[in-house]
Structure 1
Amino acid sequence: PNVLWIYLEDVSGWFSCYGDKVIKTPNIDALATGGIRFDRFYTSAGVCSAMRSGTILGMMQTTVGAHQHRSCRSNFRGKSMGEYDKNVLPKGVKLVPKIFRDAGYYTFNEGSGKDDFNFEFDRDEIYDHYSGGWNFKGAKNGSEWTGRPKDKPFFGQIQVSGGKSGGRAKKTTPRDKVPVPPYYPDVPEV
């Protein structure tokens, strides 16, 4: 089967497919209905690069020393960080896309394309197609997977920015329409 792994950056779990009555997310709801929806997925780190590092390995990032935000890479955004920061994965540890690629899948990373994992890796070893990175402006036409050899299934990562990079909402919800969860103080500021 084809596998599409969608990352949503800097968002909460307040989606209608998880029971939220205020925020309408019909496209995400359709994906949740037609795919696999995780009801008990917990982050293994409080910051993005450490979280991505653990998720892409399928293990706790502390196991391989990848738990510090944006560290453990000798190069970052084209700048040498020095040998001290170089974190090489132990022999036998593979990234999830590499496992799929070794199994005959066409692999790609699209969208914001973030792969700022906190360890050294060779992008060409894990992805057949990669575009994106920090300045990417969005997927164009689906050629990431439609351009693959027809006899190959795909494993694709699509990463969508949100939250801190998304700007301000064009429309707001009146305060009296927002139910306050019991673990938040019920005060106007919340």
Structure 2
Amino acid sequence: MDTVSAARNHKNTIQTLSGTIASIGLEQSGKKVAGSLITPATWALNYAAEGSKPGAVDIGLWATGFVSAPAAITTSVIKAVMDDDTQRKLSHVRSKEPAKYAKFIHPCSNYGSSAPEIVAMSIANKGGTAWISNIGLWVYITDARGNLVADYQPLDFLKIYRPKKPYQAGLSGGFNWEVITK
């Protein structure tokens, strides 16, 4: 693996560790406010470069750092490693689908904080298609505007949750949905 691939595959871990070291260094030199702004600055750069935004968990961990820095640092590093793993799996899932749709496929962990399969059910209930890939990552698809897509047929899947045709409202206010397995 070359250096660029290694950096890309471990981006979240590298950013978390280097940001933590920079924050500690600034705080130790008497620049506590600057140290606390390292993480939001990283988020701003990631948004400018990639359009990525921090999740609710990331924001919560940053806020927790004001109360218990050691706990927040430990949890942040673990989460960063998990985020890197999710990104590697997402790249694999996207590579198995048509290129014109790939960038609109997202991990279910971006949509909600429940277990991924529960989030997939929620997505189907709200009118979208979610599936578990052959490598075990639950994902869903949106259109270019970020709206859930009801009728996508993934090429690489173990199980799909999506609204049942003809589209009908269920008793809970969402859509009636179906489960499709290979």
TM-score normalised by structure 2 residue count: 0.23
TM-score normalised by structure 1 residue count: 0.22
**Relative contact order, CA 8 A, sep 6+: which one is greater?**
1
